[in-house]
Amino acid sequence: MTVSALTRPGERDRLTVKLAEIDWLFCFVLCLIAGTGALMMFSIAGSSWQPWAANHLIKFSIFFALMVCLAMVDMRVWFAAAYPIYGLGLFLLVAVALIGEVHLGARRWLNLGPLGSFQPSEIMKLGLVLALGRFYHSISAQGARLSWWLLVPAAMIGVPVVLIAHQPDLGTAILLSLTGLSVVVLAGLAWRIIVIGVLMVVAAVPPMVLFVLHDYQRDRILTFLSPEKDPSGSGYHILQSKIALGSGGFLGKGYGLGSQSQLNFLPEKQTDFIFATLAEEFGFVGCLSVLVLYGAVIFLALQAASRTHSHFGRLSAAGVTATFTFYVLINGAMVMGLAPVVGVPMPLLSYGGTVMLSVMIGFGLVQSSRVHRYSEVTSGKGALL
């Protein structure tokens, strides 16, 4: 099939052609990461598919099919849905603040009755990326560099971040902030504004730690700086994770032979600290191999974003990739004791359906930008100055 055939509207509407345009290497790498997670869950459950490994694979299979379906959705549909999805996410975050469920002192969930509970912050991760992509699609390059229009994306990022931080959910608030700022930077923000912003954030950290954060959040930061002061209390998670990482050595202890995870010394071994479990059983080589897979996902996603003709498609796909990248970086730093424990899982490797669902929906958008890279997305208005 020729390239010209792919660009003809009649040809590109065909389902078989669209399926062929999906990056199946990208999909294969996602399957490898999710499969590795299932193998680790099988190991730490005592060579049993229950309670984690089987459910992990079932959820991934369903969400993978959803990702492929979303890849068939034209970028113009994503563009039209951008502000409504953001608005829905914002409405649900306000609802959480008013009537949300409280678990372990945090109000983060909405109860949907028979459907169970869910975190609206997951909707906002996608909604923010789409809304920022649509906003910057409609303004000029000069407006994106430096103008009063910057107050709009600042508010779009700041309002949900404040609502999520109030729940409190510091990890998600940080992740959402970094994702939003990444889209703003990629849209063409002037470097002097970036430097000034970084300096302002650095200056704001000490007073925030002292006067804004909750006591347990402040304890996490102090524990990160000196976990040995409370080895059986607040420093337990980081110390046990470091022990697991160090005991794995270069090649690891072997599959199913990790003492920290098998004997339940390692907390949250199937979720937040599954990377430490991997390090103990497969060592440095195993960790490096998984990180290479994550690097491949990020590279292929950015490649898809860069080849999209519409500005909206490029920024949205890059924003989703940024979210995924920050998941990996924050969890990896947390497990290695290079960052405070903030409850951010390793995407696709960790157990949990909510984060996996949001990640796979985001990758559906990335693949849609690849499949429909020739689609012309118009805002219906002239560029804002």
Under 8 Å between Cβ of 119 and 109: yes
DSSP per-residue codes, 44-105:
HTTS-STTTHHHHHHHHHHHHHHHHHHHTS-HHHHHHHHHHHHHHHHHHHHHHHHH-EEETT
Burial of 151 (0-12, 13-18, 19+ CB in 10 A): exposed
**In the structure, what pLDDT confidence band is assigned to residue 217 with cuts at 50, 70 and 90?**
low
The 8-class DSSP code of residue 139 comes to B
**In the structure, what pLDDT confidence band is assigned to residue 58 with cuts at 50, 70 and 90?**
very high
> What is residue 56's predicted lDDT score, i.e. its pLDDT?
96
Is the pLDDT at 235 greater than 90, yes or no? no
Average pLDDT of the chain is: 85
> What is residue 147's predicted lDDT score, i.e. its pLDDT?
66
- To the nearest 10 degrees (0 to 180), the angle between helices 191-211 and 215-225 is 110
**In the structure, what pLDDT confidence band is assigned to residue 1 with cuts at 50, 70 and 90?**
very low
**In the structure, what pLDDT confidence band is assigned to residue 384 with cuts at 50, 70 and 90?**
very low
How far does Cα 319 stand from its chain's mean position? 10
Closest by Cα among 282, 334, 365 to 37:
282
> What is residue 314's predicted lDDT score, i.e. its pLDDT?
93
Highest mean pLDDT among 117-126, 195-204, 207-216: 117-126
How far is Cα 30 from Cα 33, in angstroms, rounded to an integer?
A: 5
Domain map (residue ranges) of the chain? 16-371
More confident residue, 261 or 175: 175
Q: Indicate the residue type of 51.
A: P
R_g of the chain computed on alpha carbons: 21
Tell me the percentage of the chain whose pLDDT exceeds 70: 89
> What is residue 7's predicted lDDT score, i.e. its pLDDT?
46
Is the pLDDT at 226 greater than 90, yes or no? no
**Would you state the structure tokens that stand for residue 222, as one six-digit string?**
């102090």
**In the structure, what pLDDT confidence band is assigned to residue 382 with cuts at 50, 70 and 90?**
very low
**Lowest mean pLDDT: which of 115-124, 141-150, 155-164?**
141-150
CB within 8 A of 308, min separation 6: which ones? 75, 314, 317, 369, 370, 373
pLDDT digits (tens, 9 = 90+) for 326-373: 999 999 998 988 888 887 899 999 998 888 999 999 999 999 999 998
Tell me the percentage of the chain whose pLDDT exceeds 90: 49
Under 8 Å between Cβ of 79 and 312: yes
Whole-model pTM over 0.85: yes
